């Protein structure tokens, strides 16, 4: 299992547009991918779960990636977070 931690810098936090892009990216990987904030966990392959976390600017999220392509998935998601959030 790979874990990526990221502190959101976008002033709007994780809002609908980047959340949708993140879901699309995650769906391209076979691995199980979860996003965690403050003890709440959601599947990164579903936008409703991501939006329900209500991630704001300055909050840190953890992304847990577990599966056959976890290295590529973790690297891709980390790059997306740094570029978009």
d(CA 81, CA 9): 9
Q: Which tokens sit at 77? A: 């998601």
Q: Is 15 designated active site?
A: yes
| Active-site entry in 1, 11, 12, 15 | 15
Residues 6+ apart with CB under 8 A from 29: 65, 67, 69, 72, 73, 76
Q: Which residues are catalytic?
A: 15
């Amino acid at each position: 299992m790979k874990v990526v931690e990221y502190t959101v810098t976008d002033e709007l936090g994780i809002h609908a547009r980047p959340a949708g892009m993140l879901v699309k990216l995650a769906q391209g990987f076979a691995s199980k991918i979860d996003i965690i904030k403050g003890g709440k966990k959601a599947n990164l392959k579903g936008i409703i779960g991501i939006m329900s976390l209500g991630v704001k600017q300055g909050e840190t999220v953890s992304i847990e990636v577990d599966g056959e392509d976890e290295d590529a998935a973790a690297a891709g998601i980390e790059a997306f977070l740094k570029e978009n959030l």
